[in-house]
Structure 1
Amino acid sequence: MNGNRFRTPALLTALTLALLGLAAPAQAGPARCTTPWGSQPQVRDTAPYTGAYVQDVRSGRHDCFDRLVVDIGGAGAFDSYSVRYVDRVVGSSGIPTPVRGGADIEVVVGASALSGDDVAYLPADRAEVVDVSGYRTFRQVAWVESFEGSTVLALGTRARLPVRAFVLAPPVGSGQDPRLVVDVAHRW
């Protein structure tokens, strides 16, 4: 065996570049996040009570924000919500619902957890409505109450960050239901 096999200039250069990470293929950088939303209340209350009800609550992680989704049933059109930072989320009983994180968001949905006389949605764990472990911004989602046609959730975030709320209307004729979406950015 030749003891000088690693001394050839081309092989030595390639080995050095590989060790320094310079020969690795270019990787895409982090997503460019522009979130001009701000942190002011997001309020829409244009639809009268229509019998809408909460079907499900779920969450998702994105490159630039964490997302909370409330699926709404029983409403062809839906546009009744309030999403705002508060010192603490308090239900109609006056008792606060504490959540983890540096900032609390009160999410009020103009839909009941009841569909007629039947329970349409009730989380298995009121303190942990959805699992947000490992999320960059969300710290906890808690169920506060469903009372007189409204449902209240407490969303704990790591800090007061840009937030936006909007309704995703279903495509016409799809048979799908609308969804309330709450996005909270990872940074300013």
Structure 2
Amino acid sequence: MRRLGTASTALVLAGVGLVGGAGVAEAASGPVAKAAPAAACSTAWGSGTKSAANENTKPLKNITTSQNPCFDRMVFDIGSGPGKTGYHVGYVPAFHQDGSGERIPVGGGAILQIYVSTPSYDPASGRLTYAGKAGKPLPGVNISGYKTFKDTKFGASFEGQTQVGLGVRAKLPFRVQQSGGQLIVDVAHTW
């Protein structure tokens, strides 16, 4: 029995060394690269409300989406400018247009309400910079076939902030990041 236990332990340790280690393993014919373990998708973002103060007043230029192996992504293109853009992102039981309070139906198992502290028009000229219409899907955004995103609705651009309703499959973990003039909202595929 002792030999079987020792042999099993040796096999387990050898397996850990092959899968879990970094670098290269020696083979009879020379160094061989080890297979890296598959990266697991993080779900540590949580589903609680996330927000940040406004430091940038550039107008919204565009909203795009993309699919990734672990999450679906929505990107608000604001353009470069000093400071970060403020935001307030969280799940709501119903989506109501900012200003009027009118309820806007959003499909999916949960609704993520996104406020970006930037208008969809140029404050100096009043010229529209993003063509979203209240209660309508986001222009140019097609989420057909997405794993997590199920619906998008433009809420309003009111008092210097833009409001979007994002219908998702369920109340899933999400994160908010900023990079190079973009506000990025990622919603995980799983918990």
Same fold? TM cut 0.5: yes
User: Does the 8 Å CA contact 2:106/2:152 hold for their aligned counterparts?
Assistant: yes
Runs (5+) with no aligned partner, structure 1: 1-27, 171-177
Change (3 A) 1:185 1:64: same
Query: Are 1:182 and 2:179 matched, yes or no?
Result: no
C-alpha contact (below 8 Å) 1:45/1:80 kept by paired residues:
yes
Aligned length: 151
Asked if 1:51 corresponds to 2:57, the answer is: yes
Partners of 1:56 and 1:72 within 8 A in 2? yes
2:72 is matched with: 66
Task: Give distance in 2, aligned partners of 1:146 and 1:123.
Answer: 9
Deviation for aligned residue 1:120: 0.7
Specify whether residues 73 and 38 from structure 1 end up closer, same or farther in structure 2 by C-alpha distance, changes over 3 A only: same
Gaps of 5+ in 2: 1-35
Q: Distance in 1 between matches of 2:101 and 2:80?
A: 29
SS of 2:46's equivalent?
A: coil
Q: Percent identity?
A: 35
Q: Distance in 1 between matches of 2:64 and 2:135?
A: 13
TM-score with structure 2 length normalisation? 0.73
The aligned amino acid for 2:168 is T
Structure 2: distance between partners of 1:37 and 1:74: 26
1:102 to 109, 113, 125: 109
SS for the counterpart of 1:90 is coil
Which residues of 2 match residues 1-188 of structure 1 at below 5 A? 32-47=40-55, 50-73=56-79, 75-91=81-97, 92-115=99-122, 116=124, 117-123=126-132, 127-129=136-138, 130-168=141-179, 170=180, 178-188=181-191
1:2-27 CA distance string (max 9 Å, x none): xxxxxxxxxxxxxxxxxxxxxxxxxx
So what's the TM-score if we normalise by structure 1?
0.74
Counterpart residue identity of residue 156, structure 2: E
Q: Is the 8 A contact 1:52 1:110 kept in 2?
A: no
Contact 1:42/1:82 (8 A) holds in 2: yes
User: Deviation digits for residues 152-176 of structure 1, max 9, x if unmatched?
Assistant: 00000010000111211x2xxxxxx
Spell out, residue by residue over 1:29-63, the C-alpha distance to the aligned partner (whole angstroms, 9 max, x if none).
Answer: 9762122001000110142xx53211000000000
Name the stretch that deviates more: 88-97 or 102-111.
88-97
Higher strand share: 1
The 10-residue stretch of structure 1 (30-39 or 76-85) with the greater mean CA deviation from structure 2: 30-39
CA deviation after TM superposition for structure 1 residue 71, in Å: 0.4
SS at match of 1:54: coil
Cα RMSD of the aligned pairs, angstroms, is: 2.1
Give the distance between the partners of 1:166 and 1:87, measured in 2 at CA.
24
CA contact (8 A) 1:81 1:109 kept: yes
- State the one-letter code of the partner of 1:99: V
